[in-house]
Structures are given as structure tokens and as C-alpha cells.
Structure 1
Amino acid sequence: MIEGVSFGRIVINGSVYEHDVVVYPSGRVERRKKWLSKEKHGTSHKLDPEELKEYLSEDFDVLVVGTGIYGMLSLLPESRELVEGKEVVEMPTPEAIKLFNGLKNEKRVLGIFHITC
């Protein structure tokens, strides 16, 4: 359960994270590997296919991308192609965590959450 987010901070199952996170359908949480996108595009605000591939280790029905407090992160078209046939939702992180929490009991949800801009 994602309990809340504020600029630079997200709380998941009582643990505080001060970095972008990936939440897998199994409940596992890990740090987002945003340097993979940053090396290629000069910014971590573009979610590159090479980065997204790192998170596709568990099967899922829905990919929820929290685009940040102000919505700066975007999924590149080439990244969308990797998850063709899956439901993909991109929205600012505060709204994305509400959707993630609402869906996780009904579907297998993979969440990628940017917690700053």
C-alpha cells in the first residue's frame, strides 16, 4: 500500500523512500534505475526502453507511471511498444498512487513513480 507522496518522498508499507521507486505486482519495491534514461537522453524525465526493460521481470496487467508531482516524466513511444497489449496509465504521482492502490487488489499492477518534479 502506498500511503502518501510529497515532493522528494514516498511512503510504502510504512517505509519512507527519498528516491524514485518501482513497485512490482509481488509488492517488491526497488529504486528506479533512472540513470539508464539519463545517460541516453540527458534527463531522467524520459523513460527509455532500456530502463523499462529492467522492470519487466514480473508479469502485469497494468503499468501505472507516476509522472512526478508536476508531471515531468514521460514514457517514450518506443517504451510504450515494449508493453503493447497492456494497459498503460500516465498521470502525476499523487493521482497515480491512488489509482495504483485502487487497482492492486483486482489486477497485477506494475508502478513506476517519479517523486520530484
Structure 2
Amino acid sequence: MIDKVGFGRISVNEKEYSHDIVIYPSGKAERRKKWISKEKYGTSHKLDPEELKEYLKEDFEVLVVGTGIYGMLSLLPESKKLIEGKEIIERPTPEAAQLFNELREKKKTLAIFHITC
């Protein structure tokens, strides 16, 4: 469960993170591997298929992408194609966190959260 979201921080199950994170359907959280996209595009604001593949470790029904406080992160069309047939929700991180908390009990939910811009 996401407890709090603020610029540059996110709290999951009372553990605070000061970096982008991925939360798997099992509940495990880990650091987002944003350097994969950054090396290719010069920015971590584009979620590349090669980066997304790193997170496809567990079966999921819905992908929630927290696009940042100001909505700067975007899932590239090629990334969307990679998970065709799955539900995709992209929202600014505070809204995405709230949706994640609502969905996680109902559907297998994979989530990626950008915690700054």
C-alpha cells in the first residue's frame, strides 16, 4: 500500500523511498532501472520497451504508471505495444498512487512510479 507521495519521495508500507520505484503484483518494491531509458534517449522521462521488459517478471492484469508530480514520464508507444492486451493507466503520481491502492486488491497490478517532475 502506498502511504504517502511527495516531490522526491514515496512511502510504501511505511518504508520511504527517495527514488523512482516499481511495485510488483506480489507487493515487492524495487528501484526503477531508469538508466536503461536514459542511455537511449538522454532522459528518464521516456519509458522504453527495453526498460519495461525488466519489470515483466510477474503476471499482471493492469499497469499503473505514475508519470511524476507534473506528469513528465511517458510510456512510449512501442512499450504499450509490448504489453498489448493489458490495461494501462497513466496518471500523475499522486493520482496513480491512489488508483494503485484501489486496484491492487482487485487485480494483479504492476506499478511504476516517477517521484519527481
- For normalisation by structure 1, the TM-score amounts to 1.00
Aligned residues: 117
Equivalent residue number for residue 98 of structure 1: 98
Residue type at the aligned position of 1:59: D
Distance of 1:29 and 1:35 partners within structure 2: 17
Distance of 2:85 and 2:4 partners within structure 1: 29
Distance of 1:58 and 1:107 partners within structure 2: 13
Q: Deviations over 1:5-27 (max 9, x none)?
A: 00000000010000000000000
Per the TM alignment, residue 80 of structure 1 is displaced from its structure 2 partner at its CA by: 0.3
SS in structure 1 of the partner of residue 33 of structure 2: coil
Equivalent residue number for residue 14 of structure 2: 14
Equivalent residue number for residue 53 of structure 2: 53
Specify every segment of 5 or more residues in structure 2 that has no aligned partner in the other structure, as ranges. Answer: none
Q: Deviations over 1:46-91 (max 9, x none)?
A: 0000000000000000000000000000000000011100000000
Per the TM alignment, residue 4 of structure 1 is displaced from its structure 2 partner at its CA by: 1.0
Identity among equivalent pairs (%): 73
Distance of 1:16 and 1:105 partners within structure 2: 21
Residue type at the aligned position of 1:96: A
Alignment of 1:1-117 (within 5 A): 1-117=1-117
CA RMSD of aligned residues (A): 0.3
- For normalisation by structure 2, the TM-score amounts to 1.00
Greater than 2 Å deviation, 4+ residue runs: none
Distance of 2:4 and 2:69 partners within structure 1: 12
Distance of 1:87 and 1:4 partners within structure 2: 24
Distance of 1:4 and 1:73 partners within structure 2: 19
Distance of 1:28 and 1:61 partners within structure 2: 16
